[in-house]
Amino acid sequence: MSGTDNSRDDTTGTGGSVTGSGSDPCQKVRRGPINSPKANVLSQLSIGSVLDVLVQMSGTMPILVVADQSAAVAGSLTFVGYLEIIDCIQNKGLSYKATIINISGGVYEVRVEPK
């Protein structure tokens, strides 16, 4: 995606991968790290724990975040394709979940997929 200075581009994300077939970006399974992890939320979780994927606004910019069952934000997501997920949530009404698939020190990796 490109455009004005206010646009965001998927290439700014770090890490991650995409799996799944078909051309519908809303149905792809993606994986990547949780950015700006909140230790007080994540310390309660383990591999296999499921988080909700939500869109929050930071000023006028949407941010993709993961939250636990009590809606406490555990961190943000910026892997390749995260802007497509924001679009799918905001404009197509889809819901996503993030499953913790790896923990290495303070790095939490998740698999993001439609619910």
Tens of pLDDT, residue by residue over 58-102, are: 999 999 999 999 999 999 999 999 999 999 999 999 999 999 999
Please report whether residue 2 resides in a domain: no
Please report whether residue 5 resides in a domain: no
16 pLDDT above the threshold of 90: no
The DSSP secondary structure of 20-56, one letter per residue, reads --SS-GGG-EEEEEPBS--HHHHTT--TT-EEEEEEE
Tens of pLDDT, residue by residue over 39-64, are: 999 999 999 999 999 999 999 999 99
How far, CA to CA in Å, does 102 sit from each of 31, 33, 73?
A: 10, 9, 18
Q: How many domains does the chain have?
A: 1
Global pTM value: 0.80
Contacts of 49 by beta carbon, 8 Å cutoff, 6+ apart: 99, 100
Please report whether residue 32 resides in a domain: yes
Please report whether residue 33 resides in a domain: yes
Please report whether residue 20 resides in a domain: no
CATH number assigned to the domain comprising residue 53: 3.30.70
Q: Which domain holds residue 89?
A: 10-15+25-114
Please report whether residue 97 resides in a domain: yes
